Structure 1
Amino acid sequence: MFNSAVKRKLTAGETVFGSFFKVDSPAIAELYGLAGFDFLILDAEHGCLSHAQIENLVRTCELMGMSSVVRTPDAEEANILHVLDSGASGIQVPSLKSATEVREVIRKAKYWPLGERGSARACRAAGYGTMDDYEQRANAETLVSVHVENKEMVEDIEALCAIDELDVLFIGPGDLSASLGHPGNASHPDVVAAIDRVIEVAAGRKHLGTVVGNAKALETYVARGVHYIAWLSDLGLMRGALAGAAANFTTYRGDKA
């Protein structure tokens, strides 16, 4: 009971478009589907989503034909297990610092013989016990993405590219800028050089992802082979839309421009 469309599209060389999703609102998730998004990154790191809320959002994504990737709060085994048992299309794990830690994520996310994930077919992902080939399907179809958001991961990029079952390297310019000593300045030459290295080494070996917020950045990244695109977040998009709407009120309530 999971939607693996995003993984299939990436394998076929397509570009997929999603957004970080932080609020417990199936209605807003439905709006993303109606707008034509391919996936949502349900944010359990910076959002306030419980396991039950995530499962309902996963259901919503499936109903709208979208994949659901959950950004876990960390790499703890219980968090990875809950997310995947809910039927999420995949996981996106933050705050890792080495290829060794990424291999541990694979071990926790995949069933034997690829890993050591605990099996319980009564979970939603396995159709509550109705899917005889569930473990094999989960191993083949579950997407695993990790954040490249610190200098240690950049330095270990060759080893990361050699990890089987790792699908997406997600470049996080904001955290990367802080790790390199230039917080908030993603255009600093050191940050640009780090991103360049990740793209140059990983292109053609792993799928690459990042977050964008304007058409120019989108065009640049896609041209460089970054095909897993997160367009801002639900809160960022709503903030922009609401600010634009409120700007129309200025004249009528005496606000100063």
Structure 2
Amino acid sequence: MFNSCIKKKLDRGETVFGSFFKFNSPNLVELFGFAGFDFLIIDCEHSTFGHADVETMIRACERAGMSSIIRTQDASEANILHALDSGASGVQVPSLRHPDQVREVVHKSKYHPIGGRGWAPGCRAAGYAFFNVDEYVERANRETVVSVHVENKEMVDEIEALCEIDHLDVLFIGTGDLSQSLGHPGKAGHPDVQAAVDKVIEAGVRHGKHLGAVVGNPDQLKSYVERGVKYIAWQSDLTMYKNALKAAAANFSPYRQKED
């Protein structure tokens, strides 16, 4: 059965801390858990994971006491179903532009009576049909995390409608794509982008929705948490490895022989 620790923590009003995960290594997944992270967002949108790879990393998250959120490639039923049937704690769906698409994501992620998720109790999430089916369905509907990216002008414009969608847990603010959508690619600090972020946070807090964001430094973390963002993705594994390797290389770079 999937690890639902972050859903429980969020619903208690706690802040949870994760990271985007892009490298195909269950060993590195375990390191994140042992270091104290609450969850990983296993990134199927911008990485090359297959379904078997994802299931292996879900197992590693469980081994290390973390929830596993799958950022799907898209909102297709197959990708959402594969992620959840493999035992993921939830899905995080990118590239949506309208509340109706978000309602469809909820429908694909939840069983009857909430939605119409594909019925296969022989899947890993249900213990390969060893679990009590009624208990599994009730828990899956109650504890599966549904997160969607708010990463374009259309989604920001529809934020009030998004906040009214039942069983949508997390509105994840994607400032990178949002900056491009607003005509300022790569400039997350531009006033137009920050105004859109402010609009999403204000609406989310007012409606009692969980808000998420990727965070790159302590000042940004402090600002987001103080404003009510409780689903925090601290950088990514790639960024952290890159920074650690650059810092390590800086120790020996003065001893390199200079070429003539």
- After superposition, the Cα gap between the structure-2 partners of 1:246 and 1:149, relative to the gap in structure 1 and judged at 3 Å, is same
Deviation at 1:255, TM superposition (A): 5.5
For each residue in 1:25-51, what CA deviation from the matched residue of structure 2 results, as whole angstroms up to 9, or x when unmatched?
Answer: 011011101100000000000011110
State the percentage of identical aligned residues: 64
| Counterpart for residue 154 of structure 2 | 152
> Which runs of structure 2 are paired with 1:158-237 in the superposition (5 Å)?
158-204=160-206, 205-237=208-240
| Counterpart for residue 65 of structure 1 | 65
Query: Where does the alignment leave 5 or more consecutive residues of structure 2 unmatched?
Result: none
User: What is the total number of aligned residue pairs between the two structures?
Assistant: 256
- Match of 1:226, SS state, is coil
Deviation at 1:157, TM superposition (A): 0.2
Query: Where does the alignment leave 5 or more consecutive residues of structure 1 unmatched?
Result: none
- Match of 1:40, SS state, is strand
For each residue in 1:57-116, what CA deviation from the matched residue of structure 2 results, as whole angstroms up to 9, or x when unmatched?
Answer: 000100111000000000000000000000000000000001110000011111011001
| Counterpart for residue 113 of structure 1 | 113
Deviation at 1:254, TM superposition (A): 3.2
The answer to whether residue 107 in structure 2 is matched with residue 104 in structure 1 is no
| Counterpart for residue 125 of structure 1 | 125
Deviation at 1:134, TM superposition (A): 1.1
Give the superposed CA RMSD. Answer: 0.9
> Which runs of structure 2 are paired with 1:42-57 in the superposition (5 Å)?
42-57=42-57
TM-score, length-scaled by structure 2 = 0.97
TM-score, length-scaled by structure 1 = 0.98
Structure 2 CA distance, aligned partners of 1:255 and 1:231?
A: 37
Structure 1 CA distance, aligned partners of 2:258 and 2:235?
A: 29
Deviation at 1:222, TM superposition (A): 0.0
